[in-house]
Amino acid sequence: MRFPTKSLFVFPIGAGMLFLAACGSSSGNSTSTGAGSSGSSSSAGAAVLKTAKTGPGTVLTTADGKTVYMFEPDTSTKSACAGACLQLWPIVAAPNPLPGQPAGITGKLGMLTRPDGTRQLEIAGRPLYTFTGDKAPGDTKGQKLNTFGGEWYVLAPDGKVIETTGSSGSSSGGGGYGY
């Protein structure tokens, strides 16, 4: 009867380790990589990014439809989002190996290795995040928010910043997230 008791302890420890990994510090090394030679990813070849039409325009999203953002203070070799920032702005994890170039996306894919070893996906040298305030696919409530020392923007399929807010699920104000 000890097996069920032990398994109850494994889950909280594993979940805690995942939480700590997501709260890494703010610098890292970047490896900019073009299309992967295998064209597959750790998720059985599924595209890691896609596009969607939203209020601000055609933007990048994760495979499950979450809008993707960049953080103005980031560089291609260093993420400025750590600790409490990652609670609202989770990274977009880079699969290993990086996938081939997704259809309709022209920005060069790459990855940033965070100090805790977590691999963060980049496009055109910009580390990628999602926003917990976006509740439905196509929401862009994080667009132009000024939190954690900089502004957040959605990205076009070529990796360029889109500065307009539009009207589809977007918020040009703080929305209660003005940290």
Q: Assign 138 to helix, strand or coil.
A: coil
Tokens of 163: 């500065």
pLDDT attached to residue 30: 39
Length of the chain: 179
Low-confidence ranges of the chain (pLDDT < 50): 1-45, 168-179
Residue-wise pLDDT tens digits, 35-67: 333 333 333 335 789 999 999 999 999 999 999
Domain boundaries, the chain: 2-162
Residue-wise pLDDT tens digits, 86-95: 999 999 999 9
Pairing of β 150-155 and β 146-147: antiparallel
pTM passes above 0.85: no
Name the average pLDDT for the chain.
Answer: 76
- The strand ranges marked E within 41-176 are 49-54, 57-62, 69-71, 109-113, 119-123, 126-127, 146-147, 150-155, 161-162
